[in-house]
């Protein structure tokens, strides 16, 4: 496919910008780790600046890719992982900075660095992509974008849950000092996780509703594997939310659920993507 | 003409026992009166009086060492202290050593509770008072401003102030780790003893929310509640009302368990999503140890808190070398900057406006 290499943005390709973004996130990770090892409180300004710079590069990279493919870049595993990391960072920049949860920036840059670097390091994930995957239908594009954005929210939920588990461990084992001292409080993390779960489930519900409105008019086009997995993920998160609101799934168990469910949701992207490749047109695969 | 003289003179917990420090201590009125007296000393160009519960120190810039001796004489007269006796407990430093001492005092390195930050405010207050009365000049202004900067750097770049070192403050820190902002929390103090009261006051000083006191003797609870600006709660209501509190500080002399597992379970059924923090300061323990296994319940006993305080103390002590090295570098740079200025002080007017020439 003839990818655009515009003269603007220093003539760099989309992947070059995404590499730059990944490196920024990695710098955020290193900065935070160095600061923690020295036993100092994190400098939120520096971490946020590095994340914001990486985010800017990622926006340019994804925008170039989106312009080249004529839509939201969600045509292969590489793009899906990039978009998920972008969603998590977007939400962090909106919610994380507002609620000022100490160390959340560090953990977000860790996650973004890992996800983006892994996706860039595996050439096979970006070797081919399906064109016109939305069939020119903006509603399907919205459905996909909302679904992946909710995955970004769940990524952030996994991070706050992981931080909760660390804090909980430190308090239960009577070791509140050291690097644990910089973590937010149990209650703050729990409240943030609950909010993120509500946002994530709302977005995924909206995504499924938009998708369903389209599918019911064209049943044969429904990818059963994708549908089943997406509904399973949605159901798992919705049940978790219900149990949390009823006070049944709380504290450590709720946090573990947030971490494990995100791992499962991430893993479910592979069979979803693979099943799409196995499907006949409308889309066709283009080697990169 | 001799060079100017930067000095510190006084006594602290390092040099004087408590009984002596009691005799040397200055209240606000005495400090103000002494300040007025010191302002009249010929050749004393600048000075600051630092008076805390653990130290009385005079920082000064004088034309000659004789002015420092006069400061000592006036102080001893006011406190009815024999100068020869005072000299047994006296701290007296000048030049670079005095600069380094001020930097270490301001950073909390010289404090009884290593790394405490209250001294920073006390030094700032003493300097502010001296400045307001026109008792500071270019040397003290520079030295104190730099001391504040150095103290901030020490706090930022080292772990000297990390973690609390008293049992009560460790308990408050742990509560912050669980609840974050303590303002909306509801605290129940069970027992009207001294350690419980200290812990309750520590919570109040950190902005904790509503406080209730329960004791076997309702009148004791009411009296303490009155002192603390809290509510009194009948003792028998403790297990029943447990769910209404976030933090329960137990410090009774009761030989049996005050908070049973069943009571904690019943409380958590009513508030499953909100954590409950038990601080058991009693011996024998007031809270059934099995409650620690409940979800969203955190239990710390006296040993746990003491161990954390001791770990924090050790961690702070391990930072001393790093702090001293950092402050020595700062003191050295500062001394090189002010030394030439001191040369010029011998011909300047003193703190009272008198011009003094030392031949």
| Tens digit of each residue's pLDDT (9 = 90 or more) over A152-194 | 899 889 999 999 999 999 999 998 887 788 889 999 999 999 9
Contact A185 B180 (CB under 8 A): yes
Q: Please indicate if any CB of chain A lies within 8 Å of the CB of B278.
A: no
| Amino acid B63: pLDDT | 86
Testing the interface with B: which of A45, A176, A190 to mutate, by most B Cβ within 10 A?
A176
| Amino acid A1: pLDDT | 41
Local confidence band at A6 (pLDDT 50, 70, 90 cut-offs): low
Q: What is the ipTM of this complex?
A: 0.79
Closest residue on chain A to B173 (Cα) = A176
| Amino acid A288: pLDDT | 46
Contact B275 A186 (CB under 8 A): yes
* Average pLDDT of the segment spanning A51-59: 93
Closest residue by Cα to residue A36 from A177, A181, A179 = A179
Q: Please indicate if any CB of chain A lies within 8 Å of the CB of B223.
A: no
pLDDT tens-digit series, residues A124-153: 887 766 655 656 677 777 888 888 889 889
Distance (Å) from the alpha carbon of B163 to chain A's nearest alpha carbon: 7
Contacts with B274 from chain A: Cβ below 8 Å: 187
Task: Read off the tokens for B355.
Answer: 């011009």
Closest residue by Cα to residue B246 from B168, B175, B191, B294 = B175
Residues in chain A: 288
Contact A187 B275 (CB under 8 A): yes
Whole-model pTM?
Answer: 0.76
- Round the average pLDDT of chain A to a whole number and report it: 83
* Average pLDDT of the segment spanning A186-209: 94
- Measured distance CA(A238)–CA(A247) in Å, rounded: 14
Got the DSSP string for B60-114?
EEESSHHHHHHHHHHHHHHHT--HHHHHHH-EEEETHHHHHHHHHHHTTTTSSST
Local confidence band at A8 (pLDDT 50, 70, 90 cut-offs): low
A-B C-beta contacts closer than 8 Å: 60
Closest residue by Cα to residue B295 from B280, B267, B275, B270 = B275
Nearest to B180 among A174, A181, A184 (CB): A184
Output the CA angle A151-A155-A158, nearest 5 degrees.
135
* Higher-scoring residue by pLDDT: A198, A266: A198
Q: Is the pLDDT of residue A287 over 50?
A: no
Contacts with A167 from chain B: Cβ below 8 Å: 177
Q: Which residues of B are catalytic?
A: 53
Residues in chain B predicted with pLDDT less than 50, given as ranges, are 1-2, 354-359
Query: How far is CA B306 from its chain centroid?
Result: 19
Q: Is B47 helix (H, G, I), strand (E, B) or coil?
A: strand
% of residues, chain A, pLDDT over 70: 84
pLDDT tens-digit series, residues A83-109: 889 988 988 888 776 666 777 888 888
Angle between helices B320-345 and B302-318 (to 10 degrees): 50
* Average pLDDT of the segment spanning A193-197: 94
Whether the CB-CB separation of B26 and B87 falls below 8 Å is answered with: no
Q: Is the pLDDT of residue A224 over 70?
A: yes
Q: Please indicate if any CB of chain B lies within 8 Å of the CB of A249.
A: no
| Amino acid A134: pLDDT | 59
Testing the interface with A: which of B185, B280, B296 to mutate, by most A Cβ within 10 A?
B296
Q: Please indicate if any CB of chain B lies within 8 Å of the CB of A247.
A: yes
Local confidence band at A41 (pLDDT 50, 70, 90 cut-offs): low
Distance (Å) from the alpha carbon of B164 to chain A's nearest alpha carbon: 10
Question: Which domains are seen in chain B, by residue range?
Answer: 5-160+319-343 (3.30.460.30), 167-311 (3.40.50.720)
Query: How far is CA A119 from its chain centroid?
Result: 12
Contact A247 B177 (CB under 8 A): no
Nearest to A176 among B156, B174, B275 (CB): B174
Nearest to A250 among B174, B296, B307 (CB): B296
């Amino acid at each position: 496919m003839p990818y655009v290499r515009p003269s603007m943005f220093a003539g760099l390709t989309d992947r070059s910008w995404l590499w730059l973004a990944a490196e920024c996130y990695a710098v955020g990770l290193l900065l935070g780790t160095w600061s923690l090892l020295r036993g100092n409180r994190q400098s939120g300004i520096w971490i946020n600046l590095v994340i914001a710079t990486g985010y800017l590069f990622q926006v340019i990279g994804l925008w170039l890719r989106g312009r080249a493919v004529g839509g939201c870049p969600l045509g292969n595993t590489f793009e899906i992982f990039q978009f998920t990391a972008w969603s998590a960072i977007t939400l962090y920049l909106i919610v994380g900075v507002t609620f000022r949860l100490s160390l959340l920036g560090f953990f977000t840059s860790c996650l973004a660095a890992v996800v983006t670097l892994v996706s860039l390091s595996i050439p096979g994930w970006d070797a081919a992509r399906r064109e016109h995957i939305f069939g020119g239908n903006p509603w399907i594009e919205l459905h996909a974008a909302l679904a992946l954005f909710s995955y970004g929210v769940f990524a952030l939920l996994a991070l706050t849950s992981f931080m909760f588990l660390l804090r909980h461990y430190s308090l239960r084992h009577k070791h509140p000092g050291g690097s644990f001292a910089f973590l937010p409080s149990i209650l703050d993390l729990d409240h943030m996780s609950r909010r993120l779960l509500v946002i994530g489930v709302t977005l995924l519900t909206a995504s499924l509703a938009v998708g369903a409105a389209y599918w019911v008019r064209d049943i044969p086009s429904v990818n059963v594997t994708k549908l089943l997995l997406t509904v399973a993920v949605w159901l798992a998160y919705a049940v978790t939310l219900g149990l949390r609101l009823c006070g049944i799934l709380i504290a450590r168990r709720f946090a573990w659920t947030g971490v494990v469910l995100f791992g499962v949701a991430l893993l479910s992207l592979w069979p979803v993507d693979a099943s799409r490749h196995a499907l006949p047109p409308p889309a066709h695969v283009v080697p990169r | 003409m001799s060079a100017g003289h930067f000095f510190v003179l006084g006594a602290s917990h390092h040099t004087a026992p408590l009984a002596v420090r009691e005799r040397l201590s200055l209240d606000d009125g005495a400090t103000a009166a002494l300040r007025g007296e010191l302002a009249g000393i010929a050749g004393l160009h600048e000075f600051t009086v630092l008076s805390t519960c653990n130290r009385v120190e005079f920082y000064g810039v004088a034309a000659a060492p004789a002015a420092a001796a006069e400061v000592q004489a006036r102080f001893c007269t006011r406190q009815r202290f024999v100068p020869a006796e005072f000299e047994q407990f006296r701290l007296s430093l000048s030049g670079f050593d005095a600069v380094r001492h001020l930097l270490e005092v301001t950073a909390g390195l010289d404090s009884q509770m290593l790394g405490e930050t209250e001294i920073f405010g006390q030094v700032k207050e003493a300097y502010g008072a001296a400045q307001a009365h026109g008792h500071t000049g270019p040397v003290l202004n520079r030295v104190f401003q730099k001391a504040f900067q150095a103290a901030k750097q020490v706090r930022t770049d080292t772990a000297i102030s990390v973690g609390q070192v008293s049992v009560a403050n460790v308990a408050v820190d742990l509560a912050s780790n669980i609840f974050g902002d303590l303002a909306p929390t509801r605290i129940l103090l069970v027992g009207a003893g001294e350690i419980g009261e200290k812990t309750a006051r520590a919570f109040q000083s950190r902005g904790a929310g509503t406080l209730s006191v329960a004791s076997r003797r309702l009148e004791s609870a009411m009296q303490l509640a009155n002192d603390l600006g809290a509510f009194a709660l009948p003792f028998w209501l403790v297990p029943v009302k447990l769910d209404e509190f976030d933090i329960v500080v137990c410090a009774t002399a009761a030989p049996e368990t005050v908070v049973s597992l069943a009571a904690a379970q019943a409380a958590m059924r009513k508030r499953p999503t909100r954590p409950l923090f038990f601080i058991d300061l009693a011996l024998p323990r007031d809270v059934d140890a099995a409650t620690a296994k409940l979800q969203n319940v955190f239990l710390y006993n006296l040993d746990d808190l003491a161990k954390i305080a001791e770990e924090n103390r050790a961690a702070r002590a391990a930072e001393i070398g790093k702090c001293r090295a950092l402050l020595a570098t700062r003191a050295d740079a500062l001394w090189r900057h002010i030394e030439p200025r001191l040369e010029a002080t011998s011909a300047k007017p003193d703190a009272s406006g008198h011009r003094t020439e030392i031949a």
